[in-house]
Amino acid sequence: MDKKKVLIVDDQNGIRVLLMEVFTSEGYTTYQASNGKLALEIVRSESPDLVLLDMKIPGMDGLEILKHVKAIDRSIKVIMMTAYGELDMIKEATDLGAVMHFTKPFDIDEMRLAVNMQLRRDDENNSKYAIGS
């Protein structure tokens, strides 16, 4: 079974380091990017299964990055991280294909469970198709 890949996109180093540690210890291959340009390069070169994407990133904001990620590969799951009650942006992110969002400061265990749920769901769906093939 290939390791699932998680890309963490946040301009705050502390958050990236924390999430990298959590998801590496969960057995995922993790990547990090501090800006949109780098994030999209990683999406193109590594095809992550899931992207944890901060809404407020200097330069290219989260919604713009989300649009690009979905243009590159619609099957990549994206979980948004937002700082304050950015409800209009959250609605737009959902319309653009984000699977869910977390408001900072988020509960790291909830985030871990959500990511595991999203990525395991893939495995369960894929294994159904394997029967009889």
DSSP-assigned letter for residue 133: -
Looking at the predicted structure, is the pLDDT value of residue 132 above 80? no
Domain ranges of the chain: 5-126
Q: Give the global pTM.
A: 0.91
Looking at the predicted structure, is the pLDDT value of residue 133 above 50? no
Residues 18, 24, 27, 31: is their CA dihedral positive or negative?
A: positive
Instruction: Express each pLDDT in 60-81 by its tens digit.
Output: 999 999 999 999 999 999 999 9
CATH class of 5-126: alpha beta
**Residue 2: predicted pLDDT:** 79
Within 13 Å of residue 107, how many CA atoms lie on the same side as its CB?
4
Q: Do 73 and 48 touch, CB atoms closer than 8 A?
A: no
Find, among 133, 101, 95, 106, the residue nearest to 118 by Cα.
101
Q: Do 102 and 114 touch, CB atoms closer than 8 A?
A: yes
